[in-house]
Amino acid sequence: MINHLEGNLDRMESRLHNLGFPVDDEVFAADPSPQTLLDDSQGPDAAQDLLNIYPSPQPDATAPDVNPRILPPFKKRPSPPAAAPPCFDVPRYLGGILSTGSFSMISREGMEWISQKAGIDSMQSLMDLASSGDGGFEADYPLYGISPRRTFCPLPPQQDIMRLLQKYVEYFNVLFPIFKQSELLSLFAEEGVQMWSQSAGGWASINVILAVAYMLPGNGAGDQPDHEKSSLFLKAALEVVNELYLGPPDIRGLQALLTMTILFLSAAASRPCNFLISVAIHISDQLGLGRADIPPIFSPEEARHGQTIFWFAYCLDREISVRFGQPPVQSDEAVSAALPMDAPASDTYAMPTSGQPGTFNAFRSACELARIRGHVYQDLYSAPAVKRPFDQILASVGQLDEQLQAWKKSIPSEYQPDSRSIAPPVSAILVHLHHTYYNCMIAIHSLVAARGINSAQDLMDINGLSFRPDSFSNPRVLLSASLISKAARASINLIKYLPRDDISLGITMYYPTIALKTLASSIVRNPRDTCQIYNMRILDQAESFLSSNPWKTASEGMQRLVKQCAEYRSVAERAMKEAF
């Protein structure tokens, strides 16, 4: 019994030493003041070093206020484990309690006992960490909160925040309603938002929302995008990514990750996009947002918005997969949630129809198209697909083309791609939907067109090819070259509807760039074809339009698109001159 008790006391003293409290005989006898203990154990300089957010001196406005005696409390942490390890148990008679049994040294009762014996006022911070209501650490997330949070730019005044939020809602949130408007207001409700009063997801959301808002154009002449401030707030949001991944799943963190992904997608940065979307899908799976039966921790309204967020993540995942040639993170086999029946709260995705009652749900249609794009990558561009014989690829091209045409027919005729009834101004959502359709058409038929196949005779002339009966189930596979040229021309014709803000433009300009490259490649492959004269004229018109546009000088993305257009046109023109 004595040996067991001494062992427990030794472990208790070791734990107290690890927490930074001296437990020798003099401490318990003299009962020193809190300031003396603080000076001996950690001290103000050590606390400042722990919370210092810069490697070099920075302006005072960018550093959080720190009381050197009390460490900032971590709010909204997960609850502590239900049972403490037995090595932290203390016999009650040692605490002056005339009863049998023991109490845990890391329970609230144990914290109070340590504070009473050691005379440490700052033990209240440790008690807050161990309390079930305010914070603590779960055994499942031992590294949660291990990453330091840093600020690189002070938050703007409340008046400026409201102006930035208005820009965010008007320009960004209508296209990407990842946050509800009430959520946006609640994040910035407090006057002077404090870094340590926010959860990891909340702090990341605040910074990435400001990063987006500073990139958007304003209504006034002097309200121009501030890319420097935007990059600083984005940097602060990225500081929290490790905490989001290592910590418990948080829907606010998921929203922040998706918004960061959109920012990097607009910059065509493949590696950050791949990493961020994988973390986002990981958190979404943990929250169960892709399942038909969402966990009961969500209210019905939260469940609906959670599934909207899931489908946004799904579409982004497929977009990144097709753009950068990477396998999608989200597996279709792991998704049991039905396609969204209702459009997001933003009215942009609900379009009125003239030929039938109700509205056209563009969001559901975008999710269906994202599924088809996932099949395109899996069947044509994945590692196993490239090893398949050509007759199987030909059959897959026909099947995927049938799926794409069925999707097109499911859209009301006035909103279908190639429809002549669409009159300006055209919705940005509809422009993006049409661009995606044409890009998917190019991706499906490029593998056949690249082999120079324009007829059944061209296939027969290829030595060593044997064909299955289903290889020609869709005769459109023999028209692949003309289909991709037609899709490229249609995508280039949408250039006049390109958005003006840097984020939407950066995301959208990928499509006309691929279309310009496709037309130029078609001319280089077969410069003597009379159809290439018309394609060359389209390239000339596109370059002329982009070069003469007055707002091209204000956007780096537009300047990049103009340069690429000129390069593709020059290559195609040289090929035609050499042919004739």
303 has a pLDDT exceeding 70: yes
Same-domain check for residues 363 and 348:
yes
pLDDT recorded at residue 222: 57
Check whether 261 has a pLDDT greater than 90: yes
Number of structural domains the chain divides into: 4
492 and 378 in a common domain: yes
At residue 344, the pLDDT reads 82
Report the alpha-carbon distance of residue 441 to residue 126 in Å, rounded: 60
- More confident call, 530 vs 102: 530
Helices 510-525 & 428-449, crossing angle to 10 degrees?
A: 30
Segment among 152-166, 290-304, 424-438 with least mean pLDDT: 290-304
**Of 446, 476, 497, which residue sits at a domain end?**
497
Model confidence at 235: pLDDT above 80:
yes
Q: Answer whether residue 148 is part of any domain.
A: no
- Say if residue 355 is in the same domain as residue 281: no
Q: Which of 99-113, 177-191, 203-217 has the highest mean pLDDT?
A: 203-217
Identify which of 25-29, 45-49, 127-131 has the greatest average pLDDT: 127-131
Mean pLDDT, rounded, for 247-256: 91
Bridge partner list, 359: 352
- Evaluated on CA atoms 420, 423, 424, 426, the torsion sign reads negative
User: In 75-221, which residue ranges form alpha helices assigned H by DSSP?
Assistant: 108-118, 123-130, 158-167, 181-187, 200-215
Question: Which letter does DSSP use for residue 89 in this model?
Answer: E
Residues 448 and 519 in one domain: no
What are 148-189's pLDDT values in tens digits? 677 777 888 888 888 999 999 988 988 899 998 888 888 887
515: pLDDT strictly greater than 90: yes
pLDDT tens sequence across 275-288:
999 999 999 998 98
- Of 84-88, 185-189, 248-252, the least confident: 84-88
Residues 355 and 304 in one domain: no
Confidence band for 66, pLDDT divided at 50, 70 and 90: very low
pLDDT at 331 over 80: yes
Q: Given a cut of 90, is residue 527 above it in pLDDT?
A: no
- Last residue of one domain, picked from the residues 497, 531, 558: 497
**H helix intervals, 143-292:** 158-167, 181-187, 200-215, 227-238, 241-246, 251-266, 270-287
State the average pLDDT over residues 389-411: 92
Quote the pLDDT of residue 122.
52
**Is the same domain home to 195 and 325?**
yes
Looking at the fold, whether 246 and 357 belong to one and the same domain comes out as no
d(CA 424, CA 497): 9
Cβ count within 10 A of residue 205: 29
On whether residue 137 sits in a domain, the answer given is no
- pLDDT over threshold 80, residue 308: yes
Query: Is 316 part of a structural domain of the chain?
Result: yes
Is the same domain home to 173 and 297?
yes
Residue 74, pLDDT > 50, answer no
Same domain? For 247 and 370 the reply is no
Whole-angstrom distance, CA of residue 472 vs CA of residue 457: 13
- Angstrom CA distances, 488 to 234, 373, 441, 471, 493, stand at 35, 17, 9, 25, 9
Q: Is 145 a member of any domain?
A: no
Beta bridge partners of 352: 359
pLDDT band at 433 (very low <50, low <70, confident <90, very high): very high
Say if residue 38's pLDDT is above 60: no
Confidence band (pLDDT; 50, 70, 90) for 128?
low
Question: Is it the case that residue 375 has pLDDT exceeding 50?
Answer: yes
More confident residue, 566 or 443: 443
- Does 147 reside within a domain? no
Confidence of residue 88 (pLDDT cuts 50, 70, 90): low
553 CB neighbour count, 10 Å cutoff: 10
Average per-residue pLDDT for the chain: 77
| Residue 85 in this model has a pLDDT that exceeds 70 | no
Shared-domain flag, residues 319 and 433: no
Q: pLDDT > 70: what percent of the chain? A: 67
Same domain, 198 and 277: yes
The token duo for 86 is 């037995």
pLDDT-derived band of residue 461, with 50, 70 and 90 as boundaries?
low
pLDDT for residue 90: 63
CB 519, CB 279: distance < 8 Å? no
Q: What is the pLDDT of residues 6-19, one digit of tens each?
A: 666 677 666 666 65
Q: Does residue 153 belong to any structural domain of this protein? A: no
**Confidence at residue 168, expressed as pLDDT on a 0 to 100 scale:** 92
Domain membership flag for residue 69: yes
Considering 472, 497, 522, which residue would you say is the last residue of a domain? 497
- Neighbouring CB atoms inside 10 A of 269's CB total 16
Report percent pLDDT > 90 for the chain.
28
Buried b (16+ CB within 10 A) or exposed e, 93-123: eebeeeeeebbbbbbeebbebbbebbbbebb
Per residue in 539-549, pLDDT (tens digit) is 988 888 887 76
Domain of 530?
500-580
pLDDT at residue number 272: 92
Task: Tell me which residue of 498, 574, 572 sits closest to 538, measured CA to CA.
Answer: 572
CA dist., res. 209 & res. 201, Å (int)? 12
Residues 416 and 522 in one domain: no
Please calculate the CA angle 493-496-500 and round it to the nearest 5 degrees: 140
Q: Is residue 143 part of a domain?
A: no
Give residue 324's pLDDT: 92
